Amino acid sequence: MGKFGNDTKKRGLIVEIRGDDFNRALRTFSKKVQDSGKMEEVRERMSYEKPAVRKQRMKKEARRRWERQVEDMIAAGHWYKDKKY
């Protein structure tokens, strides 16, 4: 019995192999890992990024997202380049 009772919840990602189909289970596991964001977290933890550098990167990404959104709105006719907003 553990410190917090006999709670035997399994932690992490689990995939059952059914009918000796390991390749299918591997694809399923890979998809679960990708959807959970675990690999992104591992990549982030591999190296330290200063807060100022992180802030600059986040602002740059936000700017790219905004420009992409404006381009989509221009293409749809909801935004006009010449008009002052």
The secondary structure of 35-50 as a DSSP string is: HHTHHHHHHHHHS---
pLDDT of res. 68? 95
**Rounded to two decimals, what is the model's pTM?**
0.49
**Cα–Cα separations (whole angstroms), residue 3 to 11, 21, 48:** 16, 38, 34
Confidence of residue 76 (pLDDT cuts 50, 70, 90): very high
Question: Do 71 and 64 form a contact (C-beta atoms < 8 A)?
Answer: no
8-66: per-residue pLDDT in tens?
Answer: 566 788 888 888 899 999 999 999 999 998 998 998 899 999 999 999 999 999 999 99
Choose between 7 and 63: higher pLDDT. Answer: 63
Does an H or E element contain 5, and which?
Answer: none
Question: Do 10 and 26 form a contact (C-beta atoms < 8 A)?
Answer: no
